[in-house]
C-alpha cells in the first residue's frame, strides 16, 4: 500500500477541482436551498459529471464503468466536497448503483446500470429505519411472499436523494427476527409503484432525502437483487465502500473550512492586530491541522485497503470514518467559532460546513460506533 | 535495482557468516547497544566484535565519505544495510549522538581539520558525544543562553552551566552553544557552536534525578574551561544556524522512536489482534469496561493514523515529491501518543500501578509507575508541545507573529 497519488489520480484531482470551482461553487448550495429545490441538486450538473466519466469511475468495465477503485473515488469526492457539491455520487453511484453491480442479475445490471452511469436515472438505496441507529441489520421492513413475487411493508427513513429518485433498492427482511444477519434481501422498486409513498425531506445540510413508505408494494420475483436472505453481506460491503467515499468528501469539506478560517485569522483585525497572532487561536488552528493530516492518511489507507482486498480492510474503514467524523466536526465547529459573530449568520458561508459535518458524522456510523466496530474487528 | 540486490546478497553473507548468531533477535536489547567512548558501558562481547567489523567496513556511518570512516554509500544502499540488519533482528553496530547529531553537522559545517579529527573516531565508537544547549534560564528560549566564551589568544575561556545533558556523565566530548558576543543586537547573532573535550580542567558533571527516578540527564558546570579556537564549527557568532540544523535531526529522532512503541511494520501487514493494550486489558479483567474499551480503540486508531501519516510522508519522499507539511506534527503527536498510552496502561492496571517499591508489586507494576512518570517529560523535551504548535502555526499555516 503506497500512500501517494498516482499521476492519473493527480490529474483527476485537478480536473475535478476545476469543475467544482467553475461549475459547482459553494454559492450553488445556497441557491438550491433558498429556492427550496425539491431535489437539492441539479440533474443537469449530474449529467455533466457523467459525461466526464465520474459516475462510472468504480463500476467494472463490463458494466460500462472505468474499472477504477476507491482510491480514485476519494480523490473525486474530496474535490467535490470542498464546495459541498450536492449531486448524488454517494446515493445513486456508491449505494444503489454499487449494490446492483455487486449483487444484481445480468439483466438487472444491463437494464439499470447504463442509464445510471449516464446520469439519466438516479436510484436511491432505502436502508435506514427508525430505532436502528447505525445497525444495518436491524431491518423491520418486511418482504412477504405474494403471487408471482413479494409484498413489501414498512418504512424507510432519510433515504438519501429519495425525492426525485427514479427507483429504489430496498433492504427488507424475508425471514428471521428484527436484528438477525440472516434473512435480509434486496429488491428493486421503481418510482410510481402502487403502495410506494415518497415524501420529500431536507436535512439541515440542505440536501434532499425522503421518508419512504412501503404500504403493500407488490414486486415481481425478478426484482430480487442477489440471493434471498443473504443480503446483509451485500449491504455491509456496499455501505463500507460508500463510507470511504463519504470520508473522501469530508476531507474536502474540512480542508476548505480550515483554509477559509486561516484566511480569516490573517485578515480580521481586532485590538489593532490580526487575530491570527493570538497564541490561543494559533494553537487551536495547529490542532485542527494535525487532525486533518491524520484523517487524510486514514482515508488514503482505507481506500487502498479495500481496493487491495487487505485482510482487515474494515478496520481501516472504521478508523477512517471515526477520524473523519470527528475531524470534520472539529474543523467546522472551530471555523464558526473563530469567525466570531459573522460565523453564526446565515449570510456567511462558513455555517454550511458545520451543518454538513454533522450530517456526515451521523451517516454510516459516528465515531463511537466505529470505535466499537474497530475494537470488535481487533478482537477486544 | 540489480545492483542493490547484489549488495543485499553481499551484506547478508557477511552478516550471516561473520556476525555472532548470539546477537540475532537482540535489536531492542540495551545490553547489545554499543554507545562507545573512553569509558564504555558493559555490553555483550559479541556486540563489540560486531562494532569492530562494521567500523572496518564503514558500516557504522555508511553514507559518510570513506576518508571519515564511512562507506560513501547512497541513501538507498544504506537502507539495504538497514534492511539486512533488521532481517536478522540484529542491533545496530553503534549508536549515539556522534552518529545522529554532531557527525552530520560536522559534515555540513565543520572544517576539514575537525572532520578528520572527530569523524573517524565517531565511526569507530572511540568517542562518545553529548549535547550542551539548554541552560537553567534558557529552555524554550534557547537563544537567551548565557554560557560565555571569551577569546584569549588561540583559546576560548568558557564559563557557565548547561542542563539536561543526556549521558553527560558517560560522554567524552560535548558540542555546545556559547555566547561569544553579549552585545549583539539580536541574541541569536552572538552565539557560537563549539566542541569541548569534557576531560578539560574546569568541567564538572552532576546527574539529575527525575520524578521517575534515575535518568541519563546531567548538569554540566564550566569554570574557566580553555577550548582551542579551532574547535569552532562554522563561523564565530554564526552558531545559531548550525544549532537549528542539528535540532531538526533531534526532533525526527525522538518522533520516530515515540510513535507506537517502536513498532515498524507496514500498516497493511498490521496485526490488529496483537494490540498490546487490549491484551493488557483482558489480562487485567478490564476488557469489558466500555469506557476503557472506547479509550483503547481511540488510542489504537490514533496510533494507526500516526503510523500511516509517517508512511505517507515516506512514500511521498520516495516518489520524489517535495516534503509535505505533515511531518511537522510528528514530534508533537508522537509524544502525546506515548503519554496517552502510559496513562491508559495505568488506568487499566489500576491501583497496582501505584507501587514504588516493596512486596506485593510485580516488576511490571513498578516499571509502569516509572514509565508513566517519565512519559510526562516527552511533551517537554526536544522542544515542548507548545513550541511545536507555534512552529506549525507559523511555518506551516503562515499565521502572523
Q: Which CATH architecture has domain B263-396?
A: Up-down Bundle (1.20)
Q: Where are the domains of chain A?
A: 7-122, 124-229, 233-377
Average pLDDT, chain B: 91
What is the per-residue pLDDT across A58-73, written as a single tens digit (0 to 9) for each? Answer: 999 999 999 999 999 9
The answer on pLDDT for B286 being more than 90 is no
Q: Which residue has the higher pLDDT, B322 or B257?
A: B322
Q: Residue A286: which of B380, B307, B397 has the closest Cα?
A: B397
Of all residues in chain B, the one with the smallest CA distance to A6 is B319
The answer on pLDDT for B134 being more than 50 is yes
Average pLDDT on A135-152 reads 97
Fold assignment, A233-377: Butyryl-CoA Dehydrogenase, subunit A; domain 3 (1.20.140)
Q: Residue A49: which of A83, A75, A21, A20 has the closest Cα?
A: A20
Lowest mean pLDDT among A143-152, B149-158, B219-228, B322-331: B322-331
Inter-chain touch A293–B309, beta carbons under 8 Å:
yes
Which of A281, A290, A378 has the CB atom closest to B332's CB atom?
A290
Look at residue B325 in the predicted model and tell me its pLDDT. 82
CA distance A334 to B151: 54
Look at residue B251 in the predicted model and tell me its pLDDT. 63
Q: Which CATH architecture has domain B2-95?
A: Orthogonal Bundle (1.10)
Average pLDDT on A9-37 reads 96
Of all residues in chain A, the one with the smallest CA distance to B312 is A3
- Helix residue ranges, H only, chain A: 7-23, 26-34, 43-51, 70-82, 98-103, 106-117, 231-267, 279-307, 313-339, 350-361, 367-377
What is the per-residue pLDDT across B136-168, written as a single tens digit (0 to 9) for each? Answer: 999 999 999 999 999 999 999 999 999 999 999
Give the dihedral sign, CA B273/B278/B282/B288: negative
Look at residue B242 in the predicted model and tell me its pLDDT. 95
Fold assignment, A7-122: Butyryl-Coa Dehydrogenase, subunit A; domain 1 (1.10.540)
Give the three-state DSSP class for A127.
coil
Q: Which of B77, B84, B250, B336 is catalytic?
A: B250
- What single-letter DSSP state applies at residue A166? S
Average pLDDT on A22-27 reads 96
The answer on pLDDT for B267 being more than 70 is no
Interface test with B, best of A258, A276, A294, A366 (most B CBs within 10 A): A294
The answer on pLDDT for A23 being more than 70 is yes
Q: Which residues of B touch A277 (CB under 8 A)?
A: 399-401
ipTM (interface predicted TM): 0.94
Under the banding of pLDDT at 50, 70 and 90, the label for residue A314 is very high
Q: What is the CATH number of domain A124-229?
A: 2.40.110.10
CA distance A373 to A195: 37
CATH superfamily of B129-237: Butyryl-CoA Dehydrogenase, subunit A, domain 2 (2.40.110.10)
Under the banding of pLDDT at 50, 70 and 90, the label for residue B279 is confident
B220 Rama class: left (phi>0) / alpha (psi -120 to 50) / beta:
beta
Look at residue B269 in the predicted model and tell me its pLDDT. 38
Look at residue B256 in the predicted model and tell me its pLDDT. 53
Average pLDDT on B272-296 reads 82
- What Rg do the C-alpha atoms of chain B give, in angstroms? 23
Judge whether B126 counts as a catalytic residue: no
Average pLDDT on B29-36 reads 94
Amino acid at each position: 500500500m503506497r500512500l501517494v497519488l498516482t499521476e492519473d489520480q493527480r490529474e483527476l484531482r485537478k480536473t475535478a477541482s476545476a469543475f467544482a470551482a467553475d461549475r459547482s461553487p459553494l454559492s450553488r448550495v445556497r441557491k438550491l436551498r433558498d429556492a427550496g429545490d425539491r431535489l437539492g441538486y441539479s440533474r443537469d450538473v449530474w449529467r455533466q459529471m457523467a459525461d466526464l466519466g465520474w459516475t462510472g469511475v468504480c463500476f467494472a468495465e463490463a458494466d460500462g464503468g472505468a474499472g477504477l477503485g476507491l482510491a480514485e473515488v476519494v480523490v473525486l469526492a474530496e474535490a467535490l466536497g470542498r464546495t459541498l457539491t450536492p449531486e448524488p455520487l454517494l446515493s445513486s453511484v456508491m449505494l444503489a448503483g454499487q449494490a446492483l453491480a455487486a449483487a444484481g442479475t445480468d439483466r438487472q445490471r444491463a437494464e439499470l446500470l447504463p442509464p445510471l452511469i449516464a446520469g439519466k436515472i438516479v436510484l436511491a438505496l432505502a436502508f435506514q429505519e427508525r430505532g436502528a441507529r447505525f445497525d444495518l441489520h436491524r431491518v423491520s421492513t418486511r418482504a412477504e411472499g405474494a403471487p408471482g413475487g413479494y409484498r413489501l411493508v414498512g418504512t424507510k427513513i432519510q433515504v438519501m436523494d429519495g425525492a426525485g429518485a427514479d427507483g429504489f433498492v430496498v433492504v427488507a427482511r424475508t425471514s428471521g427476527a428484527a436484528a438477525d444477519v440472516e434473512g435480509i434481501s434486496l429488491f428493486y422498486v421503481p418510482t410510481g409503484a402502487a403502495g410506494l409513498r415518497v415524501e420529500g425531506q431536507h436535512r439541515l445540510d440542505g440536501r434532499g432525502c425522503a421518508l419512504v413508505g412501503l404500504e403493500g408494494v407488490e414486486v415481481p420475483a425478478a426484482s430480487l437483487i442477489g440471493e434471498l436472505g443473504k443480503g446483509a453481506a451485500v449491504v455491509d460491503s456496499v455501505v463500507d465502500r460508500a463510507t470511504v467515499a463519504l470520508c473522501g468528501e469530508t476531507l474536502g469539506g474540512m480542508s476548505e473550512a480550515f483554509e477559509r478560517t486561516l484566511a480569516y485569522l490573517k485578515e480580521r483585525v481586532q485590538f489593532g492586530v490580526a487575530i491570527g497572532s493570538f497564541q490561543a487561536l494559533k494553537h487551536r488552528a495547529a490542532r485542527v491541522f494535525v487532525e486533518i493530516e491524520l484523517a487524510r492518511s486514514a482515508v488514503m489507507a482505507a481506500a487502498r485497503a479495500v481496493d487491495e482486498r487487505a485482510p482487515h480492510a474494515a478496520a481501516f474503514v472504521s478508523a477512517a470514518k471515526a477520524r473523519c467524523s470527528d475531524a470534520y466536526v472539529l474543523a467546522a465547529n472551530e471555523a464558526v467559532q473563530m469567525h466570531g459573530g459573522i460565523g453564526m449568520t446565515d449570510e456567511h458561508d462558513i455555517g454550511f460546513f458545520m451543518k454538513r459535518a454533522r450530517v456526515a458524522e451521523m451517516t454510516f456510523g459516528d465515531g463511537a460506533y466505529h470505535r466499537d466496530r474497530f475494537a470488535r474487528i481487533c478482537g477486544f | 535495482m540489480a545492483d542493490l540486490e547484489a549488495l543485499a546478497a553481499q551484506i547478508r553473507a557477511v552478516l550471516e557468516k561473520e556476525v555472532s548468531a548470539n546477537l540475532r533477535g537482540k535489536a531492542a536489547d540495551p545490553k547489545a547497544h554499543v554507545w562507545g567512548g573512553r569509558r564504555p558501558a558493559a555490553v555483550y562481547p559479541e556486540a563489540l566484535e560486531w562494532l569492530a567489523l562494521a567500523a572496518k567496513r564503514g558500516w557504522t556511518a555508511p553514507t559518510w565519505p570513506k576518508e571519515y570512516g564511512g562507506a560513501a554509500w547512497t541513501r538507498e544502499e544504506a537502507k539495504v544495510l538497514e534492511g539486512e540488519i533488521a532481517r536478522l533482528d540484529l542491533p545496530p553496530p553503534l549508536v549515539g549522538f556522534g552518529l545522529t547529531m554532531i557527525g552530520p553537522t560536522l559534515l555540513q559545517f565543520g572544517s576539514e581539520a575537525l572532520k578528520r579529527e572527530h569523524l573517524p573516531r565517531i565511526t569507530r565508537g572511540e568517542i562518545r558525544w553529548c549535547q550542551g544547549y539548554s541552560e537553567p534560564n534558557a529552555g524554550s528560549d534557547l537563544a537567551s543562553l548565557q554560557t560565555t566564551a571569551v577569546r584569549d589568544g588561540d583559546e576560548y575561556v568558557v564559563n557557565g552551566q548547561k542542563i539536561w545533558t543526556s549521558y553527560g556523565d558517560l560522554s567524552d566530548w560535548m558540542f555546545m552553544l556559547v555566547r561569544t558576543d553579549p552585545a549583539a543586537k539580536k541574541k541569536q547573532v552572538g552565539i557560537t557552536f563549539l566542541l569541548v573535550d569534557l576531560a578539560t580542567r574546569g568541567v564538572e558533571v552532576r546527574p539529575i534525578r527525575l520524578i521517575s527516578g534515575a535518568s541519563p540527564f546531567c548538569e554540566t558546570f564550566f569554570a574557566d574551561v580553555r577550548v582551542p579556537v579551532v574547535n569552532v564549527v562554522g563561523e564565530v557568532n554564526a552558531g545559531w544556524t548550525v544549532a537549528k540544523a542539528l535540532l531538526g535531526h533531534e526532533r525526527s529522532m525522538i518522533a520516530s522512536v515515540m510513535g507506537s512503541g517502536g513498532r515498524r511494520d507496514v500498516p497493511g501487514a498490521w496485526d490488529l489482534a496483537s494490540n498490546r493494550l487490549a491484551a493488557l486489558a483482558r489480562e487485567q479483567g478490564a476488557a469489558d469496561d466500555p469506557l476503557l474499551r472506547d479509550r483503547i480503540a481511540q488510542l489504537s486508531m490514533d496510533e494507526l493514523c500516526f503510523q500511516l501519516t509517517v508512511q505517507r510522508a515516506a512514500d511521498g519522499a520516495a516518489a520524489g515529491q517535495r516534503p509535505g507539511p505533515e511531518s511537522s506534527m510528528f514530534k508533537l503527536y508522537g509524544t502525546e501518543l506515548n503519554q496517552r498510552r502510559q496513562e491508559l496502561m495505568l488506568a487499566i492496571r489500576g491501583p497496582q500501578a501505584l507501587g514504588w517499591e516493596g512486596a506485593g508489586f510485580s516488576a511490571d507494576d513498578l516499571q509502569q509507575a516509572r514509565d508513566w512518570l517519565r512519559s510526562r517529560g516527552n511533551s517537554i523535551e526536544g522542544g515542548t508541545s507548545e513550541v511545536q504548535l507555534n512552529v506549525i502555526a507559523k511555518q506551516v499555516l503562515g499565521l502572523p507573529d
